[in-house]
């Protein structure tokens, strides 16, 4: 049995992988985290006897945790906190609303942790707690240790420690976030330090990296030592120059399939082995001076953006891999 | 009902009060208009553009792009 952990909506890549699993006639159960709490599933967990049963009342399908051979996790946490706060879009946020959101979110996510930890670590394509514990800085340090080049990177709370502002970028230590504004949104994409007007000399510790002059960016989907790489020609577009995720939909960046050198592939395999990851989306830069610079790995990164333009059929690759693992 | 302008003011107050990370210190540089934010705004379907998606859709949309 393959267990696919996802959400019920905005999961087109998961939907495609499930389509392939159906085509392969694989034995799988899709557990949508958001629907665990809306009554779709009958759940009973006898703590004393350690017996957990989940029944999908829509498909009349029983999930027996003992039958699980491999878990593919796209989503593993409940978004109650976000959804309750989102309802405040047109009104003010009260203390009780935030407290209620935090309480309900913690209750649900603690239950989910109990539920998911019932599945042995080795049965996960990538163990959920290992993924949760990874962070950008730890990954960069690991990249150095396997011989990959990274940008000069530091965290500081004082602007005077950033010598030449135009030569550095800043980005979140955690991950990007969006805030609502008038007629648009404020999104924390990577920005050049010189573009930011700041009055305070001090701020909470922030992440800075050298602004690498790039020929193109690389987005690489990795699955069990197989590589699906795409080059993104983002450097000529003012909007996407610093961060291709600031998409220009009117004039999209050109993207092409890309063949990585064996040396870089081997280093990435070493890195993923060190991080105990079997799959993930890797961001790199190919510089104007011909160097490969590693930026980060996102263990649950989107892959449709690589799969479709490059015709890699990554969804099929994942489905086949999961199916093979479910017979081991 | 709080206006969107108040949301921006509220954010700036929070940034100042809690001395947010460097990236947030100049919010104007992070702004992307609704028109540019939505992929669907520019997608051609049968010769006519899709009408701009609703605000309700855009809230989860920008959360999703953070995972890219």
**Mind listing the pLDDT tens digit for each residue in A26-82?**
999 999 998 988 888 998 888 788 888 899 999 899 998 888 999 999 888 877 787
- The pLDDT, as a whole number, for residue A278 is 96
Q: In this structure, what DSSP letter does residue A68 have?
A: -
Tell me, yes or no, whether B46 and B65 share the same domain.
yes
Rounded distance between C-alpha atoms, residue B56 and residue A155, angstroms: 36
CA proximity to A20, closest of A316, A318, A317, A326:
A316
- Hey, are the CB atoms on B21 and A172 less than 8 Å from each other? yes
- Identify which has the larger pLDDT, A86 or A175: A175
Contacts of A164 (CB under 8 A, 6+ apart): none
Q: Distance from first CA to last CA of chain A, Å, rounded? A: 11
CA distance A79 to A92: 20
Q: Which of A177, A182, A249 sits opposite B39 (nearest CB)?
A: A249
Prediction ipTM score: 0.73
Residues B4 and B17 in one domain: yes
Confidence of residue B67 (pLDDT cuts 50, 70, 90): very low
**Residue A53 pLDDT:** 86
Q: Do A182 and B58 touch (CB under 8 A)?
A: no
In 3D, which of A227, A169, A82 has the Cα closest to residue B23? Answer: A169
Q: Do A249 and B34 touch (CB under 8 A)?
A: no
B15 and B44 fall within a common domain: no
Give this prediction's pTM: 0.81
Task: Please report the pLDDT score of residue B39 as a whole number.
Answer: 55
* Number of domains making up chain B: 2
Is B43 found in the same domain as B27? no
Same domain, B36 and B61: yes
Q: Is the pLDDT of residue B57 over 50?
A: no
Q: Are residues B45 and B60 in the same domain?
A: yes
Q: Which span out of A192-201, B3-12, B34-43 was modeled with the highest average pLDDT? A: A192-201
Residues of chain A with CATH 3.30.470.20: 135-150+212-298
A183: left (phi over 0), alpha (psi -120 to 50) or beta: left
User: Which of B3, B22, B39, B58 is the mutation pick for testing A, counting most A CBs within 10 A?
Assistant: B22
- Among chain A residues, CA nearest to B67: A301
Say yes or no: B38 and B21 in one domain: no
Q: How confident is the model at residue B29 (pLDDT cuts 50, 70, 90)?
A: confident
Q: Which residues of A touch B12 (CB under 8 A)?
A: none
Of A158, A76, A157, whose CA–CA distance to A119 is shortest? A76
- pLDDT 10s digits, A78-103: 777 877 777 666 566 677 878 888 89
Are residues B42 and B15 both part of a single domain? no
Looking at the fold, whether B37 and B26 belong to one and the same domain comes out as: no
Q: Which two tokens stand for residue A278?
A: 């079997």
Judge if B15 and B38 occupy the same domain.
no
> Quick one: pLDDT band at residue B59, thresholds 50, 70, 90?
very low
Do A123 and A69 contact (CB within 8 A), yes or no? yes
Residue B49's domain comprises: 32-68
Which of A86-90, A160-164, A194-198 is predicted least confidently? A86-90
Give the 3-state secondary structure of residue A327.
coil
For chain A, state the CA radius of gyration: 22
Say which CATH topology domain A135-150+212-298 has: D-amino Acid Aminotransferase; Chain A, domain 1 (3.30.470)
Facing B68 at nearest CB: one of A10, A191, A245 = A245
Contact A185 B64 (CB under 8 A): no
In terms of domains, do B38 and B66 share one? yes
CB pairs under 8 A between A and B: 132
> For chain B, how are helix, strand and coil distributed in percent, rounded to 5?
60, 10, 30
Is the pLDDT score of B46 beyond 60?
no
B24 lies in the same domain as B38: no
* Of B52, B3, B11, the residue nearest B28 (C-alpha): B11
pLDDT band at A241 (very low <50, low <70, confident <90, very high): confident
pLDDT tens digits for range A278-315 = 999 999 999 999 999 999 999 988 899 899 999 999 99
Q: Which two tokens stand for residue B46?
A: 């049968």
Nearest to B66 among A159, A176, A250 (CB): A176
Closest CA to A218 of A309, A306, A318, A312: A306
Answer yes or no: is pLDDT of A257 > 60: yes
Are the beta carbons of B18 and A194 closer than 8 angstroms? no
Contact assignment for B23 to A172 by CB distance below 8 Å = yes
Residue A50: which region, alpha, beta or left (left: phi > 0; alpha: psi -120 to 50)?
A: left
Total residues belonging to chain B? 68
């Amino acid at each position: 049995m393959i267990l696919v952990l996802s959400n019920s909506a905005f999961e087109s890549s998961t939907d495609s992988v499930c389509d392939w699993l159906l085509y392969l006639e694989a034995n799988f159960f899709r557990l949508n985290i958001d629907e665990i709490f809306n009554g779709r599933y009958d759940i009973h967990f006898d703590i004393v006897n350690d017996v957990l049963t989940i029944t999908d009342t829509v498909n009349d399908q029983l999930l027996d945790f003992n039958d699980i051979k491999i878990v593919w996790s796209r989503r593993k946490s409940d978004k109650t906190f976000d959804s309750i706060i989102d309802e405040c879009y047109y009104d003010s946020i009260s203390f009780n609303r935030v407290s209620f959101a935090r309480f309900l979110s913690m209750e649900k996510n603690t239950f989910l942790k109990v539920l998911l930890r019932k599945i042995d670590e080795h049965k996960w394509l990538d163990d959920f707690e290992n993924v949760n514990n990874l962070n950008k800085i730890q990954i960069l340090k690991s990249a150095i240790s396997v011989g990959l080049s990274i940008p000069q990177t530091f965290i500081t709370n004082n602007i005077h420690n950033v010598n030449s502002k135009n030569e550095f970028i800043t980005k979140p230590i955690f991950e990007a976030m969006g805030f609502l504004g008038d007629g648009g949104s404020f999104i924390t994409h990577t920005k050049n330090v010189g573009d930011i007007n700041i009055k305070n000399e001090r701020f909470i510790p922030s992440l800075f990296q050298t602004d690498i002059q790039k020929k193109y960016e690389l987005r690489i989907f990795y699955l069990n030592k197989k590589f699906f790489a795409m080059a993104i020609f983002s450097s000529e577009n003012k909007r996407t120059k610093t961060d291709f995720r600031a998409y220009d939909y009117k004039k999209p960046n050109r993207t092409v399939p890309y063949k990585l050198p064996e040396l870089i592939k081997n280093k990435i395999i070493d890195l993923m082995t060190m991080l105990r990851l079997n799959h993930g989306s890797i961001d790199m830069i190919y510089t104007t001076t011909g160097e490969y610079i590693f930026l980060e790995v996102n263990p649950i990164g989107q892959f449709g953006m690589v799969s479709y333009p490059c015709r890699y059929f990554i969804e099929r690759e994942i489905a086949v891999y999961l199916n093979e693992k479910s017979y081991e | 009902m709080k206006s969107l302008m108040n949301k921006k003011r509220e954010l700036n107050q929070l940034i100042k009060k809690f001395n947010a990370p460097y990236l947030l210190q100049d919010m104007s540089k992070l702004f992307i208009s609704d028109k540019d934010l939505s992929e669907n705004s520019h997608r051609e379907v049968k010769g006519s553009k899709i009408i701009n998606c609703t605000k309700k859709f855009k809230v989860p949309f920008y959360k999703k792009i953070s995972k890219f």
